[in-house]
Amino acid sequence: MYPSKKLFACLLVLCGVFFATASFGASLKVAIVESLSGPQASTGLLYRTATQYGLDLVNEKGGWNGQPIELLEYDNQGGVTGASEKVKAAIADGAQIIVQGASSAVGGQVTEDVRKHNLRNPGKEVIYMNVGAEAMELTGAKAHFHQFRFSPNAEIRVKALIAAMKEADVLGSRVYAMNQNYSWGMDVEKAVVENADDGGYKVVEKTLHDTNKIQDFSPYVAKIKAADVDTVITGNWSNDLLLLMKAAQSAGLDVRFGTAFLDQPGNIANAGETALGHYVAHPFNMEAAGKAGEEFGKEYKAKTGHYPTYVEPQTVFAMNMLGEALKNVKAEGDSLKVNDLVVAMEKVKYKSPMGEMSMRSEDHQVLLPVAVSVVSKDAKFKVDGTDMGFKPVKVLSAEEAAAPVQEATNIKRPK
């Protein structure tokens, strides 16, 4: 027998009173401040998808303080000014963790905003989880206690790429460095130059170009062709890599690319068979990770509609590391003591499908395995609806891939 409408109404009132007076822990708010619209949205949306997926995994295991972790979204529209405004809005809305990854220029602004906020508001600190801004200065001169980087940096990527390509005897003796004209691109160019002796090559020419403003890369492809090089090493990402690959295909450019972000969705489809034989250094390759990698990939695809790729795996692993750290942080008056979380994060050792990851306390740079892969039709997992994929050729352990702490790093710990 169903209750009468009057009785049902009374029950609803009683339930409302119960939930209003019951003691529940305050929820932890995580804010993603990303490029969710505009020319860089293709990357920003992947960060959002992976962040939500990773937090869902943490919430499935109980969240934190008896409550699911809440994800807030803020669109920085790919700009530094927009990011700064959104960080302030996120903090005002109660976020204690800021997640961002697309663009080191934006990452530099976000980390500075977080640092200044924390100096001005002791006891109300927030953390910046950097899941993709890879400029060296972010764990160097701009490193601070409340920032963590969960992706490689320029030195790690280039070091791994050159080691694998030299070992495979595909690097050649003439190299062109093509990069974006800001901190990240400059760091990649510097790493290419500094690794020349170990790689046994000469840097024939270097180009730094405007970031995400060039619509036609054919003049740059013409310069590469004229330089008569064996390999082009580039840290380009988002539209700057998509359009570079498209121009290379149109011009029939016959050189090998060594990249940091060739696994960005769309690159292989744009380049077509021109992409065959090109290399990428990345934190995850599903084939290289074996059974654990396949299980992760299938679970991710079941919830998102696609296999984890590009910036997504490192972002999921970052959320998993956050979840592990939160297990060791108790609430104080239903609130999170952020400094306790920082210390807990420094102690986390997380087993990803690729291998063990940990956070280096000296500079808050994650130590993680790195795979180097080549575009091949023999790859087990195809991409972009093509018959090509990323065939792993070398996997470096976290220890092998690590770059040393920079001299400029000086993290000051709270008393």
pLDDT value for 25: 58
Tokens 């109980």 appear where? 62
Whether pTM exceeds 0.85: yes
- ∠ CA 307-312-315, nearest 5°, is 140
- How many Cα atoms sit within 13 Å of 369 on the Cβ side? 22
Concatenating the DSSP letter of every residue in 45-71 gives: HHHHHHHHHHHHHHHHTT-BTTBPPEE
Measured CA to CA, the distance from residue 56 to residue 217 in angstroms comes to: 40
Query: For helices 41-60 and 290-304, what crossing angle results, to 10°?
Result: 100
Pairing of strands 70-75, 29-34: parallel
- Sorted by sequence, the CB contacts under 8 Å of residue 201 that are 6+ apart come out as 171, 172, 173, 174, 175, 230, 231
Measured CA to CA, the distance from residue 262 to residue 259 in angstroms comes to: 6
Q: Domain limits of the chain? A: 29-152+290-367, 155-282+369-401
CATH of domain 155-282+369-401: 3.40.50.2300
Q: How far is CA 178 from the centre of its chain?
A: 21
Tokens 């295991």 appear where? 61
pLDDT (tens place) for every residue of the chain, 415 residues total: 334 444 434 444 444 443 333 335 578 999 999 999 987 888 999 999 999 999 999 999 999 999 999 999 999 988 899 999 999 999 999 999 999 999 999 999 999 999 999 999 999 999 999 999 999 999 999 999 999 999 999 999 999 999 999 999 999 999 999 999 999 999 999 999 999 999 999 999 999 999 989 999 999 999 999 999 999 999 998 789 889 988 988 898 989 999 999 999 999 998 888 889 999 999 999 999 999 999 999 999 999 999 999 999 999 999 999 999 999 999 887 789 999 999 999 999 999 999 999 999 999 999 999 999 999 999 999 999 999 999 999 999 999 999 999 999 999 999 8
Q: Is the dihedral of CA 147, 151, 153, 155 positive or negative?
A: positive
- 155-282+369-401 matches 29-152+290-367 in CATH topology: yes
Measured CA to CA, the distance from residue 147 to residue 412 in angstroms comes to: 12
Measured CA to CA, the distance from residue 359 to residue 284 in angstroms comes to: 17
Element (H, E) at 218: helix 218-227
pLDDT value for 241: 87
Q: Are 133 and 400 a contacting pair, CB within 8 Å?
A: no
pLDDT value for 295: 98
User: 26-57: string of b/e by CB count within 10 Å (b at 16+)?
Assistant: ebbbbbbbbbbeeebbbbbebbbbbbbbbbee
Q: Is the dihedral of CA 276, 153, 78, 27 positive or negative?
A: positive
CATH topology of domain 29-152+290-367: Rossmann fold (3.40.50)
DSSP 399: H
